[in-house]
Amino acid sequence: MNVKATPVARSPRLLRQQMLRDNRFFGLHQIWFAVLLIPASLYLMRLFSPLPWQWLVVPGFLVGWLVVELLFLRRRLAIRRLAVKQSHDEIVREALRHGVALQEVRVIDRETD
């Protein structure tokens, strides 16, 4: 009896997570860059705000995080597009290798150890 194993390909979500994990700048997540930008954002907000600096810590962190997210936005969008293309290519490759239809390829969303 010749039973074919179901071909498996990675989902765009899984590929995107792996690429984002591998593509961090100096291995740091964006939240740490926001923490590093707090002093600069506090200083700029202090110049234009009559509030004491203690009231500006949380907004300063949010402004820093917003700046960092905007700086990394183009890279994240490119990674998202690449993950979708790479996942589709992997599905096609597995379907051709096993001689099955594209719909028969099982798409996994989590890493299996």
Return d(Cα 14, Cα 27) in angstroms, integer.
19
Contact 6, 104 (CB under 8 A): yes
- Residue 11 pLDDT grade (very low, low, confident, very high; cuts 50, 70, 90): very high
Half-sphere exposure of 108 (CA within 13 A, CB side): 10
Question: How do residues 15-64 score in pLDDT, each as one tens digit?
Answer: 988 888 877 665 567 777 777 777 887 788 788 878 787 777 788 778 87
Return d(Cα 1, Cα 9) in angstroms, integer.
25
Question: How do residues 77-112 score in pLDDT, each as one tens digit?
Answer: 898 999 999 999 999 999 999 999 999 999 998 876
Relative to beta strand 106-108, strand 8-10 is parallel
